[in-house]
Amino acid sequence: MATTSTNGLGRSIYSYSDLQGFAKQIQDRTSHKPTIGIICGSGLGSLADKVEDSIVIPYSDIQHFPVSTVKGHHSQFVIGILKGKTVICMKGRFHLYEGYPAWKLAAPVRVMSLLGVQTLVVTNAAGAMNKSYKVGDIMLMKDHLYLPGMAGNNPLVGPNMEKFGERFISTTRLYDSSLRKMARVIAKEMGYSHLIQEGVYAMVCGPSYETPAELKLLSVSSDVIGMSTCPEAIVAKHCGMTVFGLSLVTNKCVTDYDETEVDGPNHGEVLETGKLREDIIQELVAEIVAKID
Protein backbone atom coordinates (compact mmCIF):
# COMPACT_ATOMS: atom_id res chain seq x y z
CA MET A 1 0.00 0.00 0.00
CA ALA A 2 1.29 3.44 -0.89
CA THR A 3 0.55 6.23 1.54
CA THR A 4 0.91 9.37 -0.51
CA SER A 5 0.20 12.06 2.08
CA THR A 6 2.07 13.31 5.12
CA ASN A 7 0.71 14.96 8.24
CA GLY A 8 3.01 17.95 8.06
CA LEU A 9 5.59 16.29 10.28
CA GLY A 10 7.02 14.10 7.53
CA ARG A 11 5.03 11.04 8.63
CA SER A 12 2.90 9.08 6.18
CA ILE A 13 -0.85 8.95 6.69
CA TYR A 14 -3.61 7.06 4.93
CA SER A 15 -4.58 8.63 1.63
CA TYR A 16 -8.16 8.83 0.41
CA SER A 17 -7.49 5.91 -1.92
CA ASP A 18 -6.12 3.87 0.99
CA LEU A 19 -9.37 4.41 2.87
CA GLN A 20 -11.37 3.52 -0.22
CA GLY A 21 -9.35 0.31 -0.42
CA PHE A 22 -10.27 -0.61 3.16
CA ALA A 23 -13.94 0.09 2.43
CA LYS A 24 -13.86 -2.04 -0.71
CA GLN A 25 -12.36 -4.99 1.16
CA ILE A 26 -15.29 -4.79 3.57
CA GLN A 27 -17.90 -4.25 0.84
CA ASP A 28 -16.62 -7.30 -1.02
CA ARG A 29 -17.40 -9.47 2.03
CA THR A 30 -21.02 -8.45 2.64
CA SER A 31 -24.17 -7.26 0.92
CA HIS A 32 -25.14 -5.14 3.95
CA LYS A 33 -25.08 -1.35 3.53
CA PRO A 34 -24.65 0.08 7.06
CA THR A 35 -26.01 3.51 7.94
CA ILE A 36 -25.17 3.38 11.67
CA GLY A 37 -21.73 2.75 13.16
CA ILE A 38 -21.14 1.53 16.72
CA ILE A 39 -17.77 1.60 18.49
CA CYS A 40 -17.67 -0.80 21.45
CA GLY A 41 -15.53 0.29 24.40
CA SER A 42 -13.57 -1.79 26.91
CA GLY A 43 -15.72 -4.60 28.25
CA LEU A 44 -18.63 -3.58 26.00
CA GLY A 45 -17.91 -5.80 23.01
CA SER A 46 -21.05 -7.81 23.75
CA LEU A 47 -22.98 -4.96 22.12
CA ALA A 48 -22.09 -6.54 18.79
CA ASP A 49 -23.53 -9.89 19.86
CA LYS A 50 -27.09 -8.61 19.33
CA VAL A 51 -26.45 -8.00 15.63
CA GLU A 52 -28.40 -10.47 13.48
CA ASP A 53 -27.65 -11.88 10.02
CA SER A 54 -24.13 -10.77 10.78
CA ILE A 55 -20.78 -11.21 9.12
CA VAL A 56 -17.60 -10.92 11.17
CA ILE A 57 -14.52 -9.44 9.53
CA PRO A 58 -11.32 -9.55 11.64
CA TYR A 59 -9.22 -6.45 11.22
CA SER A 60 -6.32 -8.75 10.37
CA ASP A 61 -8.23 -9.85 7.24
CA ILE A 62 -8.16 -6.28 5.92
CA GLN A 63 -4.82 -5.71 4.26
CA HIS A 64 -2.73 -3.01 5.99
CA PHE A 65 -5.50 -2.24 8.51
CA PRO A 66 -4.43 -1.73 12.17
CA VAL A 67 -5.34 -4.26 14.87
CA SER A 68 -6.34 -3.82 18.50
CA THR A 69 -3.90 -5.15 21.11
CA VAL A 70 -5.90 -4.57 24.31
CA LYS A 71 -7.63 -7.25 26.39
CA GLY A 72 -11.39 -6.88 26.04
CA HIS A 73 -11.11 -5.63 22.44
CA HIS A 74 -11.72 -8.41 19.90
CA SER A 75 -10.29 -6.60 16.87
CA GLN A 76 -13.09 -7.23 14.38
CA PHE A 77 -15.97 -5.62 12.52
CA VAL A 78 -19.44 -7.08 12.93
CA ILE A 79 -21.87 -6.05 10.19
CA GLY A 80 -25.57 -6.90 10.14
CA ILE A 81 -29.04 -5.97 11.35
CA LEU A 82 -29.87 -4.48 14.75
CA LYS A 83 -33.50 -3.62 15.49
CA GLY A 84 -34.25 -3.32 11.78
CA LYS A 85 -31.27 -1.03 11.06
CA THR A 86 -28.12 -2.01 9.18
CA VAL A 87 -25.11 -1.41 11.42
CA ILE A 88 -21.37 -1.88 11.48
CA CYS A 89 -19.83 -2.47 14.91
CA MET A 90 -16.19 -2.07 15.86
CA LYS A 91 -15.68 -4.85 18.38
CA GLY A 92 -12.38 -3.43 19.50
CA ARG A 93 -10.93 0.04 18.97
CA PHE A 94 -7.44 1.53 18.89
CA HIS A 95 -5.73 3.80 21.44
CA LEU A 96 -2.90 6.31 21.56
CA TYR A 97 -1.13 4.22 24.20
CA GLU A 98 -0.86 1.32 21.75
CA GLY A 99 1.45 3.51 19.70
CA TYR A 100 -1.10 4.53 17.08
CA PRO A 101 -1.30 8.22 16.08
CA ALA A 102 -4.63 9.98 16.40
CA TRP A 103 -5.37 9.95 12.65
CA LYS A 104 -5.02 6.16 12.61
CA LEU A 105 -7.31 5.72 15.64
CA ALA A 106 -10.04 7.45 13.71
CA ALA A 107 -9.39 5.93 10.26
CA PRO A 108 -12.13 3.29 10.79
CA VAL A 109 -14.65 6.14 11.12
CA ARG A 110 -13.63 7.42 7.70
CA VAL A 111 -14.05 3.89 6.34
CA MET A 112 -17.52 3.76 7.92
CA SER A 113 -18.36 7.03 6.18
CA LEU A 114 -17.32 5.59 2.83
CA LEU A 115 -19.57 2.60 3.52
CA GLY A 116 -22.57 4.90 4.02
CA VAL A 117 -22.67 5.40 7.80
CA GLN A 118 -24.44 8.61 8.80
CA THR A 119 -24.70 8.20 12.59
CA LEU A 120 -21.93 7.11 14.96
CA VAL A 121 -22.69 5.62 18.38
CA VAL A 122 -19.49 5.59 20.40
CA THR A 123 -19.15 3.93 23.82
CA ASN A 124 -16.37 3.80 26.37
CA ALA A 125 -15.48 2.73 29.87
CA ALA A 126 -14.55 5.59 32.18
CA GLY A 127 -13.59 6.46 35.73
CA ALA A 128 -15.83 8.85 37.68
CA MET A 129 -14.33 12.10 38.92
CA ASN A 130 -17.79 13.47 39.74
CA LYS A 131 -18.43 12.44 43.33
CA SER A 132 -22.15 11.98 42.72
CA TYR A 133 -21.58 9.29 40.08
CA LYS A 134 -21.69 5.62 41.07
CA VAL A 135 -19.98 2.59 39.58
CA GLY A 136 -22.37 1.17 36.99
CA ASP A 137 -23.87 4.54 36.04
CA ILE A 138 -24.19 5.38 32.35
CA MET A 139 -23.18 8.90 31.37
CA LEU A 140 -24.54 10.47 28.20
CA MET A 141 -21.74 12.56 26.70
CA LYS A 142 -22.65 16.21 26.15
CA ASP A 143 -19.07 17.38 25.61
CA HIS A 144 -15.46 16.29 25.91
CA LEU A 145 -12.07 17.58 27.05
CA TYR A 146 -9.48 16.12 24.68
CA LEU A 147 -6.12 16.67 26.39
CA PRO A 148 -3.89 15.02 23.73
CA GLY A 149 -5.69 17.01 21.05
CA MET A 150 -5.04 20.26 22.87
CA ALA A 151 -1.35 19.29 22.90
CA GLY A 152 -1.28 18.84 19.11
CA ASN A 153 -2.40 15.22 18.74
CA ASN A 154 -5.59 16.01 16.83
CA PRO A 155 -6.73 13.44 14.22
CA LEU A 156 -7.26 16.25 11.69
CA VAL A 157 -3.61 17.37 11.75
CA GLY A 158 -2.13 17.17 8.25
CA PRO A 159 -3.56 17.79 4.78
CA ASN A 160 -7.32 18.20 4.91
CA MET A 161 -9.35 15.51 3.16
CA GLU A 162 -11.79 17.81 1.37
CA LYS A 163 -13.92 14.87 0.21
CA PHE A 164 -14.91 14.32 3.85
CA GLY A 165 -15.18 17.83 5.21
CA GLU A 166 -13.86 21.37 5.57
CA ARG A 167 -10.46 22.27 7.01
CA PHE A 168 -11.90 23.87 10.15
CA ILE A 169 -14.92 22.34 11.87
CA SER A 170 -16.92 23.47 14.86
CA THR A 171 -17.17 21.07 17.79
CA THR A 172 -19.48 23.25 19.87
CA ARG A 173 -22.32 20.75 19.49
CA LEU A 174 -20.30 17.65 18.67
CA TYR A 175 -22.56 15.26 20.61
CA ASP A 176 -26.14 15.38 19.37
CA SER A 177 -28.59 16.78 21.93
CA SER A 178 -31.67 15.19 20.34
CA LEU A 179 -30.15 11.72 20.67
CA ARG A 180 -29.30 12.41 24.32
CA LYS A 181 -32.90 13.44 24.92
CA MET A 182 -34.09 10.30 23.14
CA ALA A 183 -31.76 8.15 25.26
CA ARG A 184 -33.20 9.63 28.47
CA VAL A 185 -36.75 8.86 27.35
CA ILE A 186 -35.80 5.31 26.38
CA ALA A 187 -33.95 4.74 29.67
CA LYS A 188 -37.01 5.93 31.58
CA GLU A 189 -39.28 3.59 29.63
CA MET A 190 -36.89 0.73 30.39
CA GLY A 191 -36.76 1.58 34.09
CA TYR A 192 -33.12 2.65 34.07
CA SER A 193 -33.44 6.38 34.75
CA HIS A 194 -31.62 5.95 38.06
CA LEU A 195 -28.49 4.89 36.14
CA ILE A 196 -28.40 7.80 33.70
CA GLN A 197 -26.09 10.78 34.09
CA GLU A 198 -25.17 13.49 31.60
CA GLY A 199 -21.79 15.14 31.58
CA VAL A 200 -18.33 15.79 30.15
CA TYR A 201 -15.79 13.12 29.22
CA ALA A 202 -12.07 13.89 29.58
CA MET A 203 -9.58 11.94 27.47
CA VAL A 204 -5.97 11.36 28.42
CA CYS A 205 -3.39 9.29 26.57
CA GLY A 206 -2.68 6.51 29.08
CA PRO A 207 -1.81 3.73 29.58
CA SER A 208 -1.03 4.75 33.16
CA TYR A 209 -4.05 5.79 35.18
CA GLU A 210 -4.15 9.36 36.40
CA THR A 211 -2.54 10.71 39.54
CA PRO A 212 -4.69 12.38 42.22
CA ALA A 213 -3.27 15.76 41.22
CA GLU A 214 -4.20 15.22 37.57
CA LEU A 215 -7.70 14.13 38.54
CA LYS A 216 -8.23 17.17 40.76
CA LEU A 217 -7.24 19.44 37.88
CA LEU A 218 -9.46 17.74 35.30
CA SER A 219 -12.45 17.38 37.64
CA VAL A 220 -12.92 21.15 37.48
CA SER A 221 -14.37 20.81 33.97
CA SER A 222 -15.12 17.09 33.50
CA ASP A 223 -17.15 14.33 35.12
CA VAL A 224 -15.48 11.14 33.89
CA ILE A 225 -12.11 10.25 32.41
CA GLY A 226 -10.88 7.69 29.90
CA MET A 227 -8.37 6.98 27.14
CA SER A 228 -10.42 6.92 23.93
CA THR A 229 -13.40 8.27 21.97
CA CYS A 230 -12.46 11.89 21.20
CA PRO A 231 -10.46 11.25 17.99
CA GLU A 232 -13.26 9.10 16.56
CA ALA A 233 -15.91 11.66 17.49
CA ILE A 234 -13.98 14.54 15.93
CA VAL A 235 -13.43 12.67 12.67
CA ALA A 236 -17.09 11.60 12.62
CA LYS A 237 -18.02 15.27 12.83
CA HIS A 238 -15.55 16.04 10.04
CA CYS A 239 -17.29 13.39 7.92
CA GLY A 240 -20.69 14.97 8.56
CA MET A 241 -21.97 12.25 10.86
CA THR A 242 -24.35 12.67 13.78
CA VAL A 243 -22.57 11.58 16.97
CA PHE A 244 -23.97 10.01 20.13
CA GLY A 245 -21.64 9.00 22.96
CA LEU A 246 -22.05 7.23 26.27
CA SER A 247 -19.66 6.25 29.05
CA LEU A 248 -20.04 3.32 31.43
CA VAL A 249 -18.68 4.30 34.85
CA THR A 250 -16.45 1.38 35.80
CA ASN A 251 -14.63 2.83 38.81
CA LYS A 252 -14.44 5.81 41.16
CA CYS A 253 -11.31 7.91 40.72
CA VAL A 254 -8.99 8.28 43.70
CA THR A 255 -8.24 11.95 44.42
CA ASP A 256 -7.33 11.71 48.12
CA TYR A 257 -3.78 10.72 49.03
CA ASP A 258 -5.04 9.41 52.38
CA GLU A 259 -7.34 6.80 50.81
CA THR A 260 -4.82 4.10 51.67
CA GLU A 261 -7.39 1.34 51.47
CA VAL A 262 -7.94 2.08 47.77
CA ASP A 263 -5.33 0.87 45.29
CA GLY A 264 -6.81 2.78 42.39
CA PRO A 265 -8.34 1.54 39.13
CA ASN A 266 -7.27 -1.54 37.21
CA HIS A 267 -8.25 -3.01 33.84
CA GLY A 268 -9.79 -6.10 35.40
CA GLU A 269 -12.24 -3.88 37.29
CA VAL A 270 -13.14 -2.14 34.03
CA LEU A 271 -13.92 -5.45 32.29
CA GLU A 272 -15.86 -6.77 35.27
CA THR A 273 -18.13 -3.73 35.43
CA GLY A 274 -18.64 -3.97 31.67
CA LYS A 275 -19.85 -7.53 32.15
CA LEU A 276 -22.13 -6.46 35.00
CA ARG A 277 -23.87 -3.86 32.85
CA GLU A 278 -23.62 -5.53 29.44
CA ASP A 279 -27.30 -6.50 29.22
CA ILE A 280 -28.50 -3.00 30.08
CA ILE A 281 -26.03 -1.35 27.67
CA GLN A 282 -27.12 -3.75 24.92
CA GLU A 283 -30.80 -2.99 25.47
CA LEU A 284 -30.30 0.76 25.69
CA VAL A 285 -28.13 1.07 22.58
CA ALA A 286 -30.36 -1.31 20.61
CA GLU A 287 -33.45 0.77 21.39
CA ILE A 288 -31.63 4.00 20.50
CA VAL A 289 -30.55 2.45 17.18
CA ALA A 290 -34.14 1.37 16.52
CA LYS A 291 -35.34 4.96 16.83
CA ILE A 292 -32.58 6.66 14.87
CA ASP A 293 -34.05 8.13 11.69
The residues annotated with a catalytic role in the active site are 42, 73, 95, 97-98, 125, 227-228, 251, 267
Question: What amino acid occupies position 42?
Answer: S
- β-bridge mates for residue 251, sequence order: 127
The residues with which 5 forms a beta bridge, in sequence order, are: 13
C-alpha distances in Å from residue 269, one per residue of 34, 43, 134, 141, 276: 33, 10, 14, 22, 10
In the 8-state DSSP scheme, what is residue 146? E
In a 3-state reduction of DSSP, which class is residue 201?
Answer: strand
Give bridge partners of residue 31 from the DSSP assignment: none
- Mention every residue, 6+ apart, whose C-beta is less than 8 A from residue 209: 127, 264, 265
> Which runs of consecutive H residues, i.e. helices, occur in 191-239?
212-218, 230-238
CA distances from 257 to 89, 90, 216, 218 (A): 40, 38, 11, 16
How far apart (Å, rounded) are the C-alpha atoms in residues 239 and 233? 10
Per DSSP, what are the bridge partners of residue 79?
55, 88
CA distance 187 to 221: 26
Return d(Cα 135, Cα 2) in angstroms, integer: 46
Residue 121 carries which side chain, given as an amino acid letter? V
